[in-house]
Amino acid sequence: MRQPIFVIGHVNPDTDSISSAVGYAWLLRERDNLDAIAARSGVINKQTSWVLTFLGVDVPHLLTDASPRFEAIARRYDSTTPDRPIRDAWAIFNKTNGIAPIVDKENIPFGLVTGQSLFTLINQLVGPEPNKRVTTLNEILELPCREAADTTVEKFNKSTRIRDLLKKVLREEQNEFWVVDDDGHYVGVVRQRDVLNPPRMKLILVDHNEAQQSVAALEEAELLEILDHHRLGNPPTNTPIKFSVEPVGSTSTLVTEKIYDAGLAPPPEIAGLLIAGIVSDTLNLISPTTTQRDGEAIKKLSRWAFTPTSVLAAETANSFAEKVLGAGSGLGSQPPSEIINRDVKIYSSGEYKFAISQAEVSDIYELNEHKDELQSALGDFRTSKGFDFAVLMVTDVVRGSSRILTENTPAILEDLPFQKNNDGTLIAKDMVSRKKQLVPAILSLLEG
């Protein structure tokens, strides 16, 4: 049984998590001939959805839990139909070590022919006293399979976790079970003993290395590799794995470098997707997390992406980047309370507990229209959560600066190095990073 390798980013996937998974899975298939499948551990966001649709790339496979499923242990035995002679089942039976699946014309399980079910049939035909009536083996083999099939066999969905039914399977008197898909179609058969040591799901993590940011039941999976650009917090592993974490602006940058080093050229839509990943994480190379390598990666990708026959033929690196950033932003498309809750981080310093939310816009003037409702939502948010103060950072991802709304900030924060706007908001010119710019500025004042 050949198992696929899932390449997967963090929960609440952003564009870099999706694009690096798709790009790296492509490289592993192309370069190493691996059965690598891009996956995602949650719902994709607005920006990623726009990018995938624009480029015509399929949304990656959803995988929220790494615990083995029945699919992984299903034996995909050949089958025959209820009307065919038992002779057919006999032929399968001999190759599968005693099981012949009988499915109907629509590939829906009908019953299993097993040693037990055959013996039951013979017993019915011959009766308790074998001498009274002689039925030849040939006559039995010509009967339809439906006569010999056990139709009471239980069915399990292929994506059900084995762990969830383990006790039930081991308690059953039956030794074999069907595995079916969501429409009830035959996938395979499992035997009782197969559930005890299911093969672990094979995973490669991209764009994260911490277990709490990863798919559920990560500890049940076999971790093959980590490719990331975040701080370390990786789970321990039993065996050495490939591990590369580098301080660049996006994981898509690292994937691009690997593709380049392999001497390969990805199709335009994959190159475009990787550009979107870099643009999204670095705000088109202006975020303080940006490195020279990110810019070089975009140059390499541009050669592959903006070809005359590609979906990106009419775009340049900059026009495409603006569309990507614009697709993820906007204050009008969601209620104010959601904008505040969507990307909020909680901090504490000394006696203060506070929250900083961030929202992205492609046009900062949008804020003027929504400022009052955001301000009142920020106030409600602060009081309902009991924070000392709350901050909303509205970042113009195209021009690379922010405006800041505050609620109940202590007097000591009057010294923040921002200009005050007429409407009470603060103008934070050239500031785009909450983590690297705003948080340190606030903490340095609070901590004196």
Our CB check for Mn ion shows the closer of 18 and 89 to be 18
Cα separation, 141 vs 58, whole angstroms:
49
Question: Where does this chain touch Mn ion (CB under 5 A) — which range of 15-23, 39-47, 264-272, 439-447?
Answer: 15-23
Take residue 139 and report the two structure tokens written for it.
């006559």
Question: Where does this chain touch Mn ion (CB under 5 A) — which range of 24-32, 199-207, 261-269, 283-291?
Answer: 199-207
Nearest to 281 by CA among 388, 432, 108, 122: 432
Cα separation, 26 vs 20, whole angstroms:
10
Our CB check for Mn ion shows the closer of 88 and 228 to be 228
Please work out the total of residues on this chain that contact Mn ion, with binding judged by CB under 5 A. 5
Question: Where does this chain touch Mn ion (CB under 5 A) — which range of 278-286, 311-319, 386-394, 420-428?
Answer: 278-286
Q: Least Å distance between CB 308 and Mn ion?
A: 31
x/- site string to Mn ion, residues 155 to 174, per CB under 5 A? Answer: --------------------
Our CB check for Mn ion shows the closer of 45 and 251 to be 251
Ordered DSSP codes for 276-330: HHHHHHHTTTTSTT--HHHHHHHHHHHHHHS-TTSTTTT--HHHHHHHHHHHT--
Q: Least Å distance between CB 60 and Mn ion?
A: 15
Cα separation, 416 vs 380, whole angstroms:
24
Our CB check for Mn ion shows the closer of 208 and 371 to be 208
Ordered DSSP codes for 10-70: -SS--HHHHHHHHHHHHHHHHHH---EEEEESS---HHHHHHHHHHTPPPPEE--B-S-BG
Our CB check for Mn ion shows the closer of 167 and 342 to be 342
Burial class (CB in 10 A: 0-12, 13-18, 19+), 149: buried
Our CB check for Mn ion shows the closer of 23 and 198 to be 23
Q: Is residue 294 a contact point for Mn ion (CB under 5 A)?
A: no
Q: Least Å distance between CB 229 and Mn ion?
A: 6
The distance between the two most distant Cα atoms of the chain, rounded to a whole number of Å, is 106
Q: Least Å distance between CB 209 and Mn ion?
A: 11
Quote the distance between the C-alpha of residue 264 and its chain's center: 25
Q: Least Å distance between CB 206 and Mn ion?
A: 9
Q: Least Å distance between CB 10 and Mn ion?
A: 8
Q: Least Å distance between CB 250 and Mn ion?
A: 5
Our CB check for Mn ion shows the closer of 176 and 207 to be 207
Radius of gyration of the chain (CA): 30
Q: Least Å distance between CB 155 and Mn ion?
A: 41
Our CB check for Mn ion shows the closer of 17 and 375 to be 17
- Residues 260, 262, 268, 273, CA torsion sign: negative
Options 88, 194, 207, 294; binder of Mn ion; rule CB under 5 A: 207
Q: Is residue 228 a contact point for Mn ion (CB under 5 A)?
A: no
**Roughly how many angstroms between the first and final C-alpha of the chain, as a whole number?**
62
Our CB check for Mn ion shows the closer of 50 and 389 to be 50
Our CB check for Mn ion shows the closer of 89 and 270 to be 270
Q: Is residue 16 a contact point for Mn ion (CB under 5 A)?
A: yes
Quote the distance between the C-alpha of residue 192 and its chain's center: 30
Q: Closest-CB residue for Mn ion?
A: 16
Nearest to 362 by CA among 29, 131, 47: 47
Question: Where does this chain touch Mn ion (CB under 5 A) — which range of 9-17, 77-85, 264-272, 309-317?
Answer: 9-17
Please provide the size of the chain in residues: 448
C-beta separation of 351 from 341 below 8 A? no
Footprint of Mn ion on residues 243-262 (CB under 5 A)? 250-251
Q: Least Å distance between CB 228 and Mn ion?
A: 8
Options 176, 194, 281, 360; binder of Mn ion; rule CB under 5 A: 281
Cα separation, 6 vs 224, whole angstroms:
10
Take residue 149 and report the two structure tokens written for it.
């099939």
Q: Least Å distance between CB 7 and Mn ion?
A: 14
Chain residues binding Mn ion by CB under 5 A are: 16, 207, 250-251, 281
